[in-house]
Structure 1
């Protein structure tokens, strides 16, 4: 048997119940992972609230996990191998990472060298997979960022926003991040932003005063509630990537492209995927974080604190990437 945080019906954080469940058995093409840590993501909050179509309950949530291989019936991995996994239906179509063990398809499992685990530790490693692949993928796949460019991170105090700012600055970009709260300015600066804009829902006018040429690239993490405003901050030939829904709204109503998108500005998206995760330089970034070369704040919890953690996620008070550590 194993401990798992199980949700039987959608609702508030208290609907997450710590239960004893049978350890799952992997089939051919699957692996059983003993989980050492897992990150918390807003996607899980939305599923918990009942906003993920097609999810059947009861369900063990969690779209990512790191740990060690217990068994792989088809022989893809040796027992004891450190690994990371994300997405692919975790926590939605099948039980995910909010547990001591999980079974996932072998195709979405990435080996982490033991030397990296020893240097980094499970807490840092557990915080990175989904956050990193979103930030990295949006920056380098969708936005094709380059050193010397200016980047606006809209929703900068989100975990992905903090990671994106740190990575972009490390790669030689000038980073401007937004936050709704003046009290978070120092956090954003410490995580990599050169400048901060206080976001009251409309920043385009102030951004154009301070950066009259406009930004080269914009990473839009708030979502459709601020997308139109973000598009106004970009220079001709610049790109906006819509990659988040921190604002809690999914659909852009009455979308008229030639009214929303300025002439010569490009709009794209980034959606997390197993394929993108497998290409993400997890080992390299984890070492940079452990060495203090990338500052990404991380806040850890125990499994029996999952309700408390979800309350903080609902209220957006953590100001860090949230991670549950089972075995350090």
Structure 2
């Protein structure tokens, strides 16, 4: 319940907690945009909950699968809808600068929730796993450490 309120306060329209991570509840409405953090396990179901012109962004793999089994883009992506993805492993200096320019132009708040020193890595993990954590944590490397 704490994270639900944090997401609403951050500007999300609705937060759905599904008992089955592969599927949204049957009565769930349709949406314009869905960020799918579960990934290949749930992306086909997420696509089925889009309004016309809607977008699913699959950016996570929390469901434990790395590929989408039996995926047919022609039949699994509804007409007029879009499936996008994001991988943090494919970042260039140009894309990073574009991101910084967007943040500056639109005054996007990107402050980290917590900052830890390298010797506090266990505390950083504990924070991220806690029920009341929210946002990104940064671990600073000590440049003088061996």
**TM-score clears 0.5:** yes
> Which digits, 9 at most, give the CA deviation of each residue in 1:266-302, with x for residues without a partner?
223233311321211356179653xxxx7x6602212
Structure showing greater radius of gyration is 1
Gaps (5+ residues) in structure 2?
none
What is the aligned partner in structure 2 of residue 238 from structure 1?
A: 54
Judged with a 3 Å threshold, the aligned counterparts in structure 2 of structure 1 residues 309 and 302 are, in CA distance, closer, same or farther, namely same
TM-score by length of 2: 0.70
> Which digits, 9 at most, give the CA deviation of each residue in 1:53-105, with x for residues without a partner?
xxxxxxxxxxxxxxxxxxxxxxxxxxxxxxxxxxxxxxxxxxxxxxxxxxxxx
What is the aligned partner in structure 2 of residue 224 from structure 1?
A: 40
Corresponding pairs, count: 135
More strand by share: 1
Judged with a 3 Å threshold, the aligned counterparts in structure 2 of structure 1 residues 297 and 303 are, in CA distance, closer, same or farther, namely closer
TM-score by length of 1: 0.35
User: What is the alpha-carbon root mean square deviation over aligned residues?
Assistant: 3.0
- Contact (CA 8 Å) 1:204, 1:233: kept in 2 or not? no
* Correspondence 1:265 to 2:81: yes
- Contact (CA 8 Å) 2:115, 2:139: kept in 1 or not? yes
Gaps (5+ residues) in structure 1?
1-181, 209-213
Give the ranges of 4+ consecutive aligned residues of structure 1 lying more than 3 Å apart after TM superposition.
256-259, 285-288, 310-313, 315-318
* Correspondence 1:190 to 2:6: no
- Contact (CA 8 Å) 1:204, 1:230: kept in 2 or not? no
- Cα shift at 1:234: 0.6
- Pick one of 250, 267, 277 that aligns with 2:66: 250
Q: How far, CA to CA, are the matches of 1:316 and 1:254 in structure 2?
A: 35
- Cα shift at 1:249: 2.6
